Amino acid sequence: MFCEYFEARVCRSCPLIREPYDLQVRNKERSIRRVLASLDRPTSRRTPAHPPAIKSRFEWLPTYRSPETGFRNKAKMVVSGSKKSIVLGLAPNEKHPTGIDLQSCPLYAPAIHAAFTPIRAWLQRLGARPYNIPTAKGEVKYVLVSANPAGDLMVRLVLRSKAALHRVEHTWSELQAELPNLRVFSVNIQPEHTTVIEGREEIILSSERYIPMPGIGTDLWLAPGAFFQTNTAASQALYAQAATWARKLQPETAWDLYCGVGGFAFALSSAGVAQVTGVEVVGPAIDGAKHAVTELASATATVPVEPSNKNDGTPNTPSAAPRPHFITADATKWAVNQTLMPPDLVVVNPPRRGLGPDLSSWLERSGIPHLIYSSCFPGTLVEDLRRMRSYQIRAAKLVDMFPHTSHVECVVLMSRAD
């Protein structure tokens, strides 16, 4: 695929973009198969291979293939240039001292592309100085734009301080007038001179606090500061696969650890799991998950009730899937300190660092029959699986979340060996 930024050597975020997409997928399939096959081998001369429970012979499901363009639902744009000539894209460097314009990146969703020009024009009218990295002066650091498939937008402006906040509060409605699909607008304050994009303080200026993202069984609600996979269709493929497995396993109870906005939790509920508990440490994500529960309850309550066929006058209640319960807590600390009976199924979707020894070792001891592990980094997936010797991999699926890169995302179903 052709990309003007890659060919000009100004952006290398997609190192495989010249490779045909079929070849990219085949290489990723070989890579993840090779990684999981390593479970059959001992880690050292003194460590024997794990028992047959963890082995590489299992069902490989068809790979989810992403669209090659337009799949990214979020853009993180450095704001550089000058007050009267704003640049949105990559940070300045020696060859490009005013920054690198990245507005035409082919990976962004159409609604995001359409938002860049109005955002840039509004920032120039705002008159706040872009943050200068070498001098640590200036106010406007980043613009973060998220979009759902319907084209609804969330725009977050990251500022160094509140010096320009008053101007933003009084003029952001101009941007909303140019972008009628702008539903959520907020200001994030990041005073630190660091590569960490977001600060702790979020000031929501719009009346709406969430944009809906597609899930399984219900919409998921994304708030400023909450994480959502950047490839919407690929995230749906992950959730749908978990729901398919849950229908076959028919568990009564389940936990969704590192649940985020509740994607897996709602997928499990839609598959008929009676009791689902989602656990996530990020407050805005749990706020969105709880909002989804409220929206689902409201939608169910407005379903017309058919007249009863009974003779006692009792109305028929509209059917509804079970609704998950969400808790704000550290997933590891919450799980290992539970005293109640463990669930029939646990879904884990950890960050790149994986579960770590505490949680993976606890899962090994827990007696939980089934585990679904959604991994964004196969290296830590294998490390965790080596600590869970009692589980047998039953099936795995590669989900190509990030085309044109070597990044591999996969979801694995495991059950305890008989």
Q: Report the binding-site residues.
A: 229, 258, 280, 349
Asked whether the beta carbons of 103 and 92 are under 8 A apart, the reply is no
Asked whether the beta carbons of 345 and 246 are under 8 A apart, the reply is yes
Q: Give the bridge partners for 187, in sequence order.
A: 157, 203
Hey, what amino acid is at 144?
L
**Active-site annotation, residues:** 376
Q: Give the bridge partners for 393, in sequence order.
A: 414
Q: Give the bridge partners for 416, in sequence order.
A: 391
Binding residues for S-adenosyl-L-methionine: 229, 258, 280, 349
* DSSP single-letter state for residue 130: B
Buried (b) or exposed (e) across 228-258, using 16+ Cβ within 10 A? bbbbbbbbbbbbbbbbbbbeebebebbbbbb
Q: How far is it, in rounded angstroms, from Cα 259 to Cα 289?
A: 9
Dihedral in degrees, nearest 10, Cα atoms 324, 328, 334, 340: -40
